[in-house]
Amino acid sequence: MLLARFSLPRVAGLDFWKLLGSGTGEGFTPLPNTAVYAILATWSDRTTAEHQLRDAPVFRRYRQHASETWTVFLTPVSSRGAWSGRAPFAPEKARQSGLLASLTRASVRLANLPGFWRRVPAISRRIGSDPNVLFKIGVGEVPWLHQVTFSIWPDESSMAAFARHDGPHARAIRTVRAEGWFSEELYARFRVTGEAGSWGGTSPLAQRQTIARLA
């Protein structure tokens, strides 16, 4: 992951990228998981993304060292806030239909770290128990300080129902706003437009495909 910092700036068509580690379990813990890593990347267009992910030496090296890889292709539909001082996602004016992904990213102020991590287990359990969520993981740039949550939902209504529920997630958001826990934050939604590879030997989105066939 460290060496990729020297290779990624030379990949044509790659605009914004972040190298991310993960926590244990589903990633929502302060204990690092040295077996799972993520790369977030924005590209000039889908064709370029597919070509470079397939052929660029840095991504070929990752596949050679990995026991498994999974790529999700996304189109941003909304975004607010900043990441490293930038607004990396350019939302398209499109209906939020079909599978949707949610990404939240925050830099936690040092003084608020204990309170932040005390709330994370309850939020993780709430997400994990939601029958609608198709995939969720917690990742980050810097352990404990720069955190990212990523989840995939069947549709906008199920995502909104989770956000509105008056549980640990909603209470944490109110506290964050009232007490200014984050020095920088970003919230974005995406349409899921494709996938490649597998996670745990299967597609995390297969559940949705099975439901659609039965409907």
Beta bridge partners of 152: 101, 135
Query: By C-alpha distance, which of 104, 177, 111, 114 is closest to 146?
Result: 104
Distance CA 109, CA 20 (A): 19
Hey, what are 27's tokens?
């990633």
Per-residue model confidence as pLDDT tens for the chain (215 residues): 888 999 999 999 999 999 999 988 766 777 889 999 999 999 999 999 999 999 999 999 999 999 999 999 999 999 999 999 999 999 987 666 789 999 989 888 777 777 776 666 665 655 555 677 899 898 988 877 788 889 999 988 888 877 666 554 555 566 566 666 787 889 999 999 999 999 999 999 986 654 344 33
- CA–centroid distance for 33 within its chain: 16
Let me know: does 197 contact 71? Beta carbons within 8 Å: yes
For residue 213, the model assigns a pLDDT of: 40
Distance CA 197, CA 209 (A): 16
Domains belonging to the chain, first-starting first, are 4-214 (3.30.70.100)
Task: Name, in order, each residue with C-beta under 8 angstroms of 10's C-beta and a sequence gap of 6 or more.
Answer: none
Let me know: does 134 contact 206? Beta carbons within 8 Å: no
Distance CA 209, CA 185 (A): 33
Let me know: does 184 contact 68? Beta carbons within 8 Å: no
Distance CA 71, CA 50 (A): 10
For residue 162, the model assigns a pLDDT of: 73
- pLDDT of 44-83, one tens digit each? 999 999 999 999 999 999 999 999 999 999 999 999 999 9
